[in-house]
Structure 1
Amino acid sequence: MPIHSYTAHVQELEAFGMGYPLQGEARDRAVLGSWRRCIDQHRLDPSRTSEAHIVPAGQLRAHREESEPLIRIARSGLERLYQQLKGLDYVLLLADRHGVAVDFLGHDSHASDLRSAGLYLGAQWREDVAGTSAVGTCLATGEALTVHQSDHFDFTHTRLSCTAAPIYDLQGQLAAVLDLSLLRSPAARASQQMALHLVTAAVRRVELANLMAQSGSDWVLRLAQSPDFLDV
């Protein structure tokens, strides 16, 4: 799926909004659902571009304080995953249930580019603010997914490839989203299949760690088809 020109991107979104069949490579179901929400519910203009929205420092502090227990539990798992991907230029974002990035791991040397792209602390990725993105669409659907390059609604973000999975709390409520992103990636969407597998596996480990952290006074029965996975 090649990166579109601005004109081609806007034309595709406008044609989709008017109900015309899409030309070229088929889009993922979750992406099309997000495009429809962006046009019909959020009233976003396909021709309007916007740099990443970073919330003010005070607002970020409040979001981080609300998410502090989960950040603390997830941090070691995120660091392990980041080390596995070292050298591949991936950025890890942990976004809260409001779509704000409350933790991230990325190369310090790329800090300026990451902040500009929204792959940074305080970035707001809700669909009604940023359009179709992995974090925002994951929050809207509750599903693990990839939003690759021109899948993004806002042309500003079409160089990014982002893969996200939801983190659920013990009550079954969507508590956060773990996102694995690249500033630049191969054109083929299939190149992010491994990222989808890794982020989904990492989320399961975070959920298990959260369960164990909140079950200190309880007996926990673990079942697995293979004993090799009992300690995962």
Structure 2
Amino acid sequence: MDGSTDLLLPKHPAYRHTYDVYSVIAGGLAPPNIEEVSTSWRRSACQYGINPDKSEAPNILTLKEVESHRQALDDLIFCAQEEIDHLYKVVRDAGYTVLLCNRTGVAVEHRGDATAADQFKNWGAWLGGVFAEELEGTNGIGTCIAEERSVTIHRSQHFRSRNTDLSCSGAPIFDIDGTLMAVLDVSSVDPGLSESAHGLAGPLTIKSARAIEERYFRTRFRKEWIVMIVPPEDDSNAMLLAVDAGERIIAANRSARDTFHLQNDAFPSGLSLWTIFVKDADLFRPTKAEDLPKTLTRQGDFSQWLVLATPPQKASSLLYGQKDVALHTRPRLGLLGALKNLPPKTTVYGGLSPRTMRRVCEYIEQHFSERIQIAELAGIASLSIYHFARQFRVSAGVTPHIYITRKRLEVARTMLTQTDLSVTEVALAAGFSDQSHFTRLFRHFVGTTPARFRWSQR
């Protein structure tokens, strides 16, 4: 932009902010620091009809009104106390307040300096403040709810001109069914707070939100095995599975649901953990009631995944040992770095060599729609049928027949979700002999019929 054009831009910060808002809404290029929230700006104006120059102060509910919103989150609030206290201890000296908000943007729990209460209330950043995006436009709480992702909003990134002295960072907290449950937020009303300084608040808030989410999950399923899983290439957010005595997955946090494509209809019947990983008979047999670190092999690509298995809480602890309860439900996110440094998995003697196993699996991948004879696979491995079947099971944790069936079901699930082929056509394309055979196996392994599965995905 040349100097002559620059002279036409408004000089007063409030007017300049309004100019930028309307420019973005009209389809103009967003300033560099606005690009990430430009979609929210457009949503605030076009969908919610909010005036960026709206001067009214945010709405703050009475304590009685707040209580009605708190009740639905009582269990979460109880689990969150320690993490909220710790987060506030870290950010307090920097002049922040900490807010826990429900999914409608109401602050139902907070930590803040009572001497600065009036100042925070002026922006609504206090107990009872309402920060839904449809009411306040772009902000760290409301936009986090709208987009279900962590959001850091610094001063002029807010939609309303009135809020351009406010800085906030919000992180979502997801329920055990993967839906948004709450938002953890830290907010500052310091007009001199730099963007780089405020940038430090985001990671702290995310870390605390993940810890609250994990503690809540572990508390809800403290009578089951909790398996924390670390992906091979990313230890930023662990996946959590609740596994029953039959080694079936009965619950999963949002990260695990997304990674392993787990749907709600898989949980009532219980999905075996060994449909995802090669079976390890020692995982659920610890000699002591303590965390057990292991390395599991992923079905299909045979990649190595670190896990930390926490045994079910003992009945005696549930009744008498509050210290044991706290120990059992504490977050393990801080152990991820230590898990990465575990010694390599002990070599298991027997089984096919990695090279032979890869050749066999590649053949199955290419010919799953055809009738595959075990003799063909044994030939690829240069072994007798009997010896091949036994060694394959050692390597994969299942028989060749079950492995092939799972591969076909995996393909069928994708086709049911992404195509309009009939169930019969999907069955034949995936290599099953007929629809009834396909439906019977699908119900056994997935826990529902192909038709119901397809309906649940749309």
TM-score, normalised via structure 1 length: 0.90
The one-letter code matched in structure 2 to 1:136 is G
Distance of 2:199 and 2:17 partners within structure 1: 24
**CA deviations over 1:65-103 (Å, ceiling 9, x no partner):** 111111111111110111122311111010001110001
Distance of 2:103 and 2:52 partners within structure 1: 25
Structure-2 residue corresponding to 1:19? 27
Q: Structure 1 residue 51: deviation in Å?
A: 0.7
Distance of 2:192 and 2:118 partners within structure 1: 22
TM-aligned CA distance change 1:46 to 1:84, over 3 Å: closer
Which of the numbers 25, 33, 36 marks the counterpart of 2:39?
33
Asked whether the equivalents of residues 50 and 136 of structure 2 are also in contact (C-alpha less than 8 Å), the reply is: no
Asked whether the equivalents of residues 144 and 166 of structure 1 are also in contact (C-alpha less than 8 Å), the reply is: yes
Q: Which protein is bigger by CA-based radius of gyration?
A: 2
Structure-2 residue corresponding to 1:96? 102
Distance of 1:192 and 1:87 partners within structure 2: 13
Structure-2 residue corresponding to 1:6? 14
- Structure 2 residue 185 is matched with structure 1 residue 179: yes
Q: In the TM superposition, what are the counterparts of 1:184-223 in structure 2 within 5 Å?
A: 184=190, 186=192, 188-223=194-229
Q: Structure 1 residue 185: deviation in Å?
A: 5.3
Q: Structure 1 residue 191: deviation in Å?
A: 2.3
TM-aligned CA distance change 1:226 to 1:85, over 3 Å: farther
Asked whether the equivalents of residues 144 and 164 of structure 1 are also in contact (C-alpha less than 8 Å), the reply is: yes
The number of aligned residues is: 227
Q: Structure 1 residue 58: deviation in Å?
A: 3.2
Secondary structure at the aligned position of 2:100 is classed as strand
Secondary structure at the aligned position of 2:187 is classed as strand
Shift >6 Å, 4+ stretches: none
Structure-2 residue corresponding to 1:136? 142
Secondary structure at the aligned position of 2:173 is classed as strand
Q: In the TM superposition, what are the counterparts of 1:25-174 in structure 2 within 5 Å?
A: 25-29=32-36, 31-174=37-180
Q: Structure 1 residue 223: deviation in Å?
A: 4.1
Secondary structure at the aligned position of 2:141 is classed as helix
TM-aligned CA distance change 1:56 to 1:84, over 3 Å: closer
Q: Structure 1 residue 114: deviation in Å?
A: 1.0
Mean CA deviation greater in 188-197 or 33-42: 188-197
Distance of 1:165 and 1:145 partners within structure 2: 7
Secondary structure at the aligned position of 1:33 is classed as helix
Structure-2 residue corresponding to 1:229? 335
TM-aligned CA distance change 1:131 to 1:149, over 3 Å: same
Q: Which has the higher contact order (CA 8 A, sep 6+)?
A: 1
Asked whether the equivalents of residues 92 and 112 of structure 2 are also in contact (C-alpha less than 8 Å), the reply is: no
Distance of 2:192 and 2:115 partners within structure 1: 21
Q: Structure 1 residue 62: deviation in Å?
A: 0.6
CA RMSD, 1 decimal: 2.1
**CA deviations over 1:111-155 (Å, ceiling 9, x no partner):** 111111111111110011111100000000011111110111111
Percent of residue pairs bearing the same amino acid type: 28
Structure 2: which 5+ residue stretches go unaligned? 1-11, 231-305, 309-333, 339-458
The one-letter code matched in structure 1 to 2:34 is R
Structure 1: which 5+ residue stretches go unaligned? none
The one-letter code matched in structure 1 to 2:127 is L
Distance of 1:142 and 1:35 partners within structure 2: 16
Secondary structure at the aligned position of 1:220 is classed as strand
Distance of 2:180 and 2:71 partners within structure 1: 17
TM-score, normalised via structure 2 length: 0.47
Distance of 1:115 and 1:153 partners within structure 2: 19
TM-aligned CA distance change 1:187 to 1:79, over 3 Å: closer
The one-letter code matched in structure 1 to 2:190 is R
